[in-house]
Structure 1
Amino acid sequence: MTWSPESWKNFPIKQQPTYPDQDVLGGVRAKLESMPPLVFEDEIVKLRKGLAEVAEGRGFLLQGGDCAESFSEFSEEHIQQMVQVMLQMAVTLTYAGQCHVLKIGRMAGQFAKPRSADMEEIDGVSLPSYRGDSVNGIEFTAEARVPDPQRLLDSYHQSAVTMNLLRALTRGGFASLRNVKEWNLAAMAGGPLGEKYGEMAERIHESLDFIEACGLPIEAFASLQGTALYTSHEALLLDYEEAMLREHEGKWYDLSAHFLWIGERTRQLDHAHVEFLRGVENPIGVKVGPAATADDVSALMDKLDPDKEPGKLVFITRVGAEGAYEKLKSLFERVELSGRKVVWVCDPMHGNTVKASSGLKTRKFESVVSEIQAFFKAHKAVGTWPGGVHLEMTGRNVTECTGGAYALSDEDLLECYDTQCDPRLNAAQSLEVAFLVAEELKNLRG
């Protein structure tokens, strides 16, 4: 079937809000279509080239950020903390893991979330589920839970401001390697991870001093003075995504973000999300859960990447720690036999969500680590490249996931549990994952 920007409307669709006034939605779409893009075509092309290098085993993808961005939590401090911890993780992977790192944030657009049920019940009252700030309000009231198309415009404007700040932070000196010591977050000061990171930062500074002593000023190396941080979100709300399409030289780019992914709940071959994203030039991710088969993966490759273009397709596995090795190994083997080069990324978060004794959702750090280790082990067995990790995380000192170097318990969860939806790794836990992944990379390289 011939693809067009609107062809997705001829297919079944899941996880969409039901707007009470379609005329209002149409007006919002028209406004979005006239807005400037959030990202640019050449940035998307550059990212695809970087992902092609990752697929060939010459790089590693670090993707991370909030489960769902929030209108209420929006601040310069929040964004800077997220960038700071991602820079820490990236330099750890680069230095300790001896690997070039491609960085993608779940930022500047991650405002919508799929839900397991359309309705939510509290104390006998049933209301539509909260679907992210771009759809409705988190407050448990009938008024707040009505889907409001105007929120799509709010999402766009917040994303634009976030993009401006991200560009300033990554290109304006904050991301210079000369600041590697200053990136150490206060939440880790004086602890085991702060000390470990500090030692590494000191060695990096010594290396920079040596380079300058040889007569090579650091300012002459653009790659040491700043970095590229790409943006991503789940392409869930197709009215928004279609409105952000722009045509360039006969090709269609979704300029709401650099990288878009299809969720586990919306990756059906004959449904709207796959239809829409098969026609855009952005690199596309697909979440692959425990029920996915090798046949599913093969069919998705044929649909989303029929021309076998390098850097086009990313499979993000989220199978859970239990039995992960065998499940992943079978998927890797099928793709390897096909001769295709895709990027494999491990999401060790979504398959490991449990309920704590308090009733709060949490994730155990040891389960997160276990799935990552199974991911590396399966790749080593098949002879394929573990392309990256995808983490729900924050630069704040939240208490949403248990375990880690600071041994958070179920009782600690109540101290700072602030997530909009799912539990996130805090800054210390995120950096700890980076050190563990770096060690896996070193072992893999021998």
Structure 2
Amino acid sequence: MSAIPDLEALHALGPAQQPTYPDAGAVDAAVARLRTMPPLVFAGECDELKEKIAAVTRGEAFLLQGGDCAETLAGVTADNVRNKLRVLLQMAVVLTYAASVPVVKVGRLAGQYAKPRSSDLETRDGVTLPAYRGDAVNGFDFTAESRVPDPQRLVDVYNASAATLNLVRAFVTGGYADLRQVHTWNTDFVRSSPVGQQYEAMANEIERALTFMQAIGADPDEFHRVDFHSSHEALVLEYEHAMTRIDSRTEQPYDVSGHFMWIGERTRQLDNAHVELLSHIRNPIGVKLGPTTTPDDALALAAKLNPENEPGRLTFITRFGAGKIRDGLPHLVEKVQAAGVQVAWVCDPMHGNTFEASSGYKTRRFDDVIEEVQGFFDVHRALGTWPGGIHVELTGDDVTECVGGGEDLTDLDLAHRYESVCDPRLNRVQSLELAFLVAEMLRKA
């Protein structure tokens, strides 16, 4: 593994989607501060996740990756973190029990603070300001002062991510993730919904199975704790570069800001700085592939990012849109599989299905999300390959951001609790409904 290129060399490649900082000295100071901070995750944990994703690559496990579109610094509270963890645990239990497949659990959290944007500028009522690029870069408030990129925010993101990971680790090792909690995870507004009642019936079956196993003396550790990993898009180069360290065990570089990093659709160009940086780190990594991706693009990315063809190293996260997945995905999968590339295939059914509702809110139809996942499964089933996972923007709260689902949310409902600062997320009821539907698809895969 060659040496990590320095920041100056990466910026010479003309990276896309980077903030324009007004004060170079402040950037240097923030980066220097980050370089002294302890790792947020450990290289050994990244290796463990890589082994789990290798099982996904072999068709022996399923990846569940989910969380906020964009985390906010103000959102780092015990309730928010617990609610996101709770819905992911519930979804994982549904998938594991209903589909009888091991589930690799990865959160879009503890680092998902930066977002690519389609435009550098935003105009409201004749006033034009820099676009909001996530709390890692600038503020959401539409004021000139708030929208100035501030590198000190990168240090704030580090501290917020550390607090989030501390909470997650406490929850998953301190009893909250114990399978005997399956009923307590189904509280408040979910319990009264049809999908909540379906979950409750399944929880009763799990409880009976656990009681039986305890009676015969079987009580594995896996019932009391879960493995849970963090992920985010590796977008702001200053942050990811500063958090890349040499592992003392292996002398290899790891990005210790999270376990799993991915490159977005807007920054996946082969000669891009993001591809260059992630080609050097040893974390498991992903690449978002949209409808403009050619099979040759995918093969070139695999050769650059995983030259040793190591299982678990590379995940392709497809985001075509419900109307394009059946036409666009087969060509990619066929050529990649024919080349013998070791890759986990994961479906992002969110980003290709966004539209503006008549009320002016950015939203997604639940039916489109399901249709893209179904298309993903259908393509893999037809080709004899493994539909390895889903990558979903979701929240554990009772928000109204995506229309449809069992609650039958409409455009008029969006205004009630639209809380995302960027893209619309599935709420907890919709997320659970998705998990049951995906479990049905997995039974047939």
TM-score by length of 1: 0.98
Q: 2:211 aligns with which of 209, 226, 237?
A: 209
Counterpart CA distance in 2 for 1:213 and 1:192 is 32
Partner deviation per Cα, 1:187-221 (whole Å, 9 max, x = no partner)? 212220111000000000000000111133x3xx1
Residue 365 of structure 1: how far off its partner (Å): 0.4
AA in 2 matched with 1:246: R
**Aligned counterparts, 1:202-351, within 5 A:** 202-216=204-218, 218=219, 221-248=220-247, 249-351=250-352
Deviates more, 1:321-330 or 1:434-443: 321-330
CA contact (8 A) 2:76 2:163 kept: no
Alignment of 1:358 with 2:359, yes or no, is yes
CA contact (8 A) 1:107 1:231 kept: yes
Alignment of 1:13 with 2:12, yes or no, is no
Indicate the SS of the match to 1:163. Answer: helix
Residue 254 of structure 1: how far off its partner (Å): 0.3
AA in 1 matched with 2:362: K
Residue 180 of structure 1: how far off its partner (Å): 0.8
CA contact (8 A) 1:326 1:378 kept: no
Alpha carbon RMSD of aligned pairs, Å?
Answer: 1.0
Residue 3 of structure 1: how far off its partner (Å): 4.6
Counterpart CA distance in 2 for 1:301 and 1:185 is 43
CA contact (8 A) 2:193 2:429 kept: no
Counterpart CA distance in 1 for 2:283 and 2:423 is 27
Alignment of 1:434 with 2:438, yes or no, is no
Partner deviation per Cα, 1:164-195 (whole Å, 9 max, x = no partner)? 00000011110000111111131212220111
Which residue of 2 is the match for residue 420 of structure 1? 421
Which residue of 1 is the match for residue 139 of structure 2? 137
% same residue: 53
Which residue of 1 is the match for residue 26 of structure 2? 24
Residue 269 of structure 1: how far off its partner (Å): 0.4
Which residue of 2 is the match for residue 4 of structure 1? 4
Partner deviation per Cα, 1:125-178 (whole Å, 9 max, x = no partner)? 100000000100000110000000110011000000000000000111100001
Which residue of 1 is the match for residue 155 of structure 2? 153
CA contact (8 A) 2:246 2:253 kept: yes
CA contact (8 A) 2:191 2:200 kept: no
Residue 10 of structure 1: how far off its partner (Å): 3.5
Listed as ranges, the gaps of 5+ residues in structure 1 are: none
AA in 2 matched with 1:177: L
AA in 2 matched with 1:170: V
Counterpart CA distance in 1 for 2:187 and 2:321 is 30
Counterpart CA distance in 2 for 1:305 and 1:317 is 18
CA contact (8 A) 1:259 1:285 kept: yes
Indicate the SS of the match to 1:420. Answer: coil
Partner deviation per Cα, 1:333-380 (whole Å, 9 max, x = no partner)? 011101122000000000000111101100000000000000000001
Partner deviation per Cα, 1:251-296 (whole Å, 9 max, x = no partner)? 0000000000000000010110000000000011000011111111
**Aligned counterparts, 1:93-242, within 5 A:** 93-216=95-218, 218=219, 221-242=220-241
Which residue of 2 is the match for residue 75 of structure 1? 77
Listed as ranges, the gaps of 5+ residues in structure 2 are: none
Counterpart CA distance in 2 for 1:329 and 1:337 is 12
Residue 116 of structure 1: how far off its partner (Å): 0.2
Counterpart CA distance in 2 for 1:283 and 1:372 is 23
**Aligned counterparts, 1:347-386, within 5 A:** 347-386=348-387
AA in 2 matched with 1:228: D
Indicate the SS of the match to 2:74. Answer: coil
Deviates more, 1:70-79 or 1:47-56: 70-79
CA contact (8 A) 1:128 1:146 kept: yes
Counterpart CA distance in 2 for 1:365 and 1:408 is 9
AA in 1 matched with 2:238: D
Counterpart CA distance in 1 for 2:120 and 2:31 is 24
Which residue of 2 is the match for residue 397 of structure 1? 398
AA in 2 matched with 1:4: I
Indicate the SS of the match to 2:363. Answer: strand
CA contact (8 A) 1:54 1:61 kept: yes
Indicate the SS of the match to 1:351. Answer: coil
CA contact (8 A) 1:344 1:388 kept: yes
Counterpart CA distance in 2 for 1:10 and 1:97 is 48
Counterpart CA distance in 2 for 1:87 and 1:136 is 32
Indicate the SS of the match to 1:285. Answer: strand
Indicate the SS of the match to 1:394. Answer: coil
Indicate the SS of the match to 2:420. Answer: coil
AA in 1 matched with 2:265: E
CA contact (8 A) 1:12 1:270 kept: no
Residue 2 of structure 1: how far off its partner (Å): 5.3
Instruction: Report how many residues are paired.
Output: 441
Residue 72 of structure 1: how far off its partner (Å): 1.9
AA in 1 matched with 2:76: F
Partner deviation per Cα, 1:288-307 (whole Å, 9 max, x = no partner)? 01111111101101111111
AA in 1 matched with 2:228: L
AA in 2 matched with 1:63: Q
Which residue of 1 is the match for residue 411 of structure 2? 410
Counterpart CA distance in 1 for 2:426 and 2:343 is 27
